[in-house]
Amino acid sequence: MPRIGIKGQTYINIGTRQSPIWARVKLLRDWTFELSANEVAVKNKGSFFTKYLRGLFDCPLDGEADWDPGTPFFESIQSSFFSETIVDLLILDGGIKKPDSQGMRAGFIVTKFARGEPLEDVMSVSFSLRLAADYPFEPEWVRTGNNGDIITVGVIGDDPNN
């Protein structure tokens, strides 16, 4: 069944990795969660066609939220931008308490933190998040269980032959 964008929910971990405390991010405006893979072109004399292999995954997150100092999300992305701390996010297509919501959990750093001051609208923050190289865990695809548990479906890009 198709889902409207407002039904998607993002949560920030204000606890630890082992004992997460998920706080819902409520003041997001537009948000783009892109999961893509690079293309590796294979060209040789055995074919007149360029063929492709899938390369590395990428997951840039870009968005905008209300400028709201004091909220966990705002404070986390501001801190990450200035001090390179990692933001642990859970990005779902539904609520955390809704069984079978699915999405990704990963650690990000903030690479853009820009304030907007439109004349006839509230202040906003535009931000860019990128996967953190020094986060010790690979991004995971997860779903929610019947009692709000987060169940790892698999590590994104995990090679079963490795």
The yes or no reply on domain 5-34+58-155 and CATH 3.30.390 is no
pLDDT tens digits for range 18-68: 999 999 998 898 888 888 999 999 999 989 999 999 998 999 999 999 999
Degrees (nearest 5) of the Cα angle 122, 123, 124?
115
pLDDT of residue 161: 60
Q: What are phi and psi of 88, to 5 degrees?
A: -90, 115
Report which secondary-structure segment, H or E, holds 32: strand 28-33
* Strand 51-58, strand 36-42: pairing: antiparallel
* Residue 82 predicted with pLDDT over 90: yes
Q: What is the pTM of this model?
A: 0.86
3-state secondary structure 102-114: EEEEEEEEEEEEE
